[in-house]
Amino acid sequence: MARQVRFHRTGRLAKRQDEGDDDYVCTATKGCDIGCCGPLDEEGNGVCGLGPDFCGDGCTSTCHYKSECDPGWGIEWSNATACPLNVCCSEFGFCGTDPGFCGGEVVSSPQCDIAAGSSNGRTIGYYEGWNSQRSCGTMTPEEIPKGYYTHLFYSFSLINPDTFRLEPMDDTTGSLYGSVSALKKTQPELQVWLAIGGWAMNDPGAWRTTFSDLAASESAQDEFFESLVTFMSNYGYDGVDIDWEYPVAEDRGGIEADFDNFVNFISRLRNRLNNLGTPKGLSMTLPASYWYLKGFDIVNLEPHVARLNVDLTPEGAGLGCIYVDIILDDFSAQLDHDYARKHIEEFPGLLECRRIFESLQENLDVASYLWSF
């Protein structure tokens, strides 16, 4: 069996720009993990790469391999002309956002008028229904600070993989549905939404493909819609946040058809909620990581939701403990203080959003969101 060598995603040889680096040299018996093994020299060594120089005449092995995007060598050598989400195509045919992909292109950082005070308009808190299972640091619904939040997202409910109806994560979480919405009795302006899904729902297990199965079947969607509408009516919830982590991503149980199916699902859900006597809110959670974000057809999803919640937690971004809430007409971010202070000016997730939603007005605020180990 041929050995496999690595190939850096920017297209550059890692460690050093040294084509003699053994990690990136291929031979007649040592193939490339990514890319084509180019022509061999007199010593029988080649280099892994993409495009006609590596995959064309003289290619040694894996010559069918195509680049993610076309940097100018032609669609014959590429899977697509441009990158998903309008990110940069490197000179080596890979998609990304940092200088290794964008070269000298500069994407402007989001700007807003500090005097406008737009960050005071909405404060969203995700309330963990399972927090009572911790040995310390717990908070009951009644202990949630009053008068601070405009929205509470109760996290999480799951979807039964067989019936496609709502079901609680566990008995404790399910017992608090009414306690959370009861907070509106003393805070009439408060909105309480149900967050459905979460990272664990797509872990290996019974629920792993539930979102994919739901998005692929309109009859399953109808069952889910009726269950959701009944839930919101019974408990007085004002909206729903769909947290699918993540469509299309194979490592998260996704399939290629999720890209289009999710749009149809969200569109039909929006229509169902609009037909209620009192229309309900709809939002969805997006990852800030480009690797997962490219599985969302954001342009066609965005018209159907009230807000897009961009998850910059370690699962969503791999870069720190951050939540960003993208609203249709403003950009409200809740950011881990230390990370934000150090990296907010250059954080690629914000720039990716800027490339997609050119008309957004943005505002940023700092949240108390903590991971502990």
pLDDT in tens, 18-27: 444 566 889 9
Structural domain boundaries in the chain: 3-102, 114-366
pLDDT at position 226 is 98
Task: Select from 204, 235, 210 the least CA-distant residue to 224.
Answer: 210
Highest mean pLDDT among 96-110, 240-254, 338-352: 240-254
Report pLDDT digits (tens) over 49-65. Answer: 999 999 999 999 999 99
Cα(364)–Cα(325) distance, integer angstroms: 9
Phi and psi dihedrals of 357, rounded to 5? -110, 80
Position of tokens 């269950």?
227
Position of tokens 């050598």?
77
Taking the model in full, what pTM does it have? 0.74
CATH 3.20.20.80 corresponds to the domain 114-366? yes
Average pLDDT taken over every residue of the chain: 79
* Amino acid in position 197: G
32 with 61: CB under 8 angstroms?
yes
Cα(166)–Cα(330) distance, integer angstroms: 31
Phi and psi dihedrals of 28, rounded to 5? -65, -20
pLDDT > 70 in the chain, percent: 72
pLDDT at position 3 is 41
